Amino acid sequence: MNIFFPSVYTVLMEDYETADYILTLDDPREMKQQGRYVRDFDQKLWDENCQAIVEKGNIAKVYDCFVLDNILGENTCEKF
């Protein structure tokens, strides 16, 4: 999930080079840092899309947690 927001953010801004680089990283902190270097940031474009992106990311995070619980037979999603 750590890769979701920085990669979607950079793709939204059409900075595919940074998005591709983020996909090669293993360190969540580095992924987040690289997302801050997006080229040609457009505040209006971000404002128009950020809520939908955050909602989809959060839904995916919760869904992944429940899928893992079913696979592992554990109850790790109690926090949700």
Residue 2: the pLDDT is 66
User: Of residues 4 and 50, which shows the higher confidence score?
Assistant: 50
Residue 59: the pLDDT is 79
Domain boundaries defined on the chain: 4-72
Say whether pLDDT at 1 is over 80. no
DSSP per residue, 2-68: TTHHHHHHHHHTT-HHHHHHHHH---HHHHHHHHTT-SS--HHHHHHHHHHHHHHHHHHHHHHHHHH
Q: pLDDT tens digits for 17-67?
A: 999 999 899 998 998 899 888 999 999 999 999 999 888 888 777 776 666
